[in-house]
Amino acid sequence: MDEFSAAKTAAGVYQWRGELVAAQHRLPGCAVDLGIAEMTPAEAARAGARTMIVGVVNVGGFIPEHWVATMVEALEQGLDLAAGMHQRLNDIPAIAAARDRTGRAVLDLRQPDRAFIPGSGRKRTGKRLLTVGTDCSVGKKYTALALEAGLRARNIPADFRATGQTGIMISGRGVAIDSVVADFISGAAEWLSPDAAPDHWDVIEGQGSLFHPAYAGVTLGLIHGSQPDALVVCHEPVRTHLLGFDYKVPDLRRCIDMNVAAAQLTNPEARVAGISVNTSRMEPTAIDAAIRDIETQTGLPCCDPIRHGVERILDVLLN
């Protein structure tokens, strides 16, 4: 996997809260580099850092044993720890012992801190946008954050609603929707974006893909519970196979149709407002033509939020 996928949490926090990031700390052999200062836990503590964040994600969300010593050292140096793995840092004896010894905080942000109930399907007030995609790690969180910023810049009330650990670290709230009890996926999504003022937009971070053999259940429950008025479909044109899986990336048109059909169960008005294209691995000279192709093919505004911003999608959304 490339840097963006393997260190997705680190990259996301640095992209959106870079002013709070003091340094990176990499274990031997790490191929990922955010291009920022490298510090040991001791150096970072002296530089004013307060928390070590586990910035790497892996399938299954487990904590490899060779990470533990570094995390214990961070606690010993006076840092708090935060992670968004399925496996809880607090369940690892050496980390729990260091936590108790040092009095530092160990935050397992992927664990729901409240109980949920099944979804009701009841229509809520206010407007909602959900980012969906052809695969994982394709730009759903970035696009949602960019849309929140763009709406607010137009003086339209909007709230980013985090559904994953990185989004929670960035926005300070939300629910890791892939970590709730399966029966409560749509119920947790309903809780996440409650009734709101008629002109208010909740911009909900999507997860997974309806075409993903591991994660589509989470995606569908999130779609149903979110009751989106608008979908933005995120896509990476040069990706041929789902990241880490021997499955083809779905056809964009089919992906649009399936997501709209799913969303219309709980919100018959659901429609697609635009396509967010991740061009980070494309030849710069090929980007404009690829975007024009997608616009012609879909009849929807298409842009890379990092390269072009999201104004063209907002224009359609608000029309």
Query: Do 135 and 209 form a contact (C-beta atoms < 8 A)?
Result: yes
Short-list 81, 85, 40, 77, CA closest to 60 = 85
Residue number, 131 or 266, with CB nearest to its own copies: 266
Residue number, 177 or 300, with CB nearest to its own copies: 177
- Min dist CB 291 to its own copies, Å, is 28
- Min dist CB 265 to its own copies, Å, is 6
Residue number, 250 or 305, with CB nearest to its own copies: 250
Residue number, 51 or 58, with CB nearest to its own copies: 58
- Min dist CB 55 to its own copies, Å, is 19
- Min dist CB 237 to its own copies, Å, is 21
Q: At what angle do helices 93-102 and 68-76 cross, to 10 degrees?
A: 0
CA dist 178 → 2, 219, 220, 255 (Å) = 22, 9, 11, 21
Residue number, 108 or 148, with CB nearest to its own copies: 108
Residue number, 22 or 247, with CB nearest to its own copies: 247
Query: Bridge partners of 230?
Result: 129, 271
Give the dihedral sign, CA 98/100/103/104.
positive
CA dist 132 → 63, 85, 145, 277 (Å) = 28, 22, 13, 12
- Residues at the contact surface with its own copies, assessed by CB under 8 A: 59-61, 86, 117-122, 177-183, 185-187, 210-211, 213-222, 224-225, 245-247, 258, 261-262, 265-266
Q: Tell me which residue has tokens 């990031």.
A: 21
- Min dist CB 28 to its own copies, Å, is 26
Query: Do 157 and 24 form a contact (C-beta atoms < 8 A)?
Result: no
Residues with Cβ < 8 Å from 219, sequence gap 6 or more? Answer: 132, 206, 207, 208, 209, 210, 212
- Min dist CB 181 to its own copies, Å, is 6
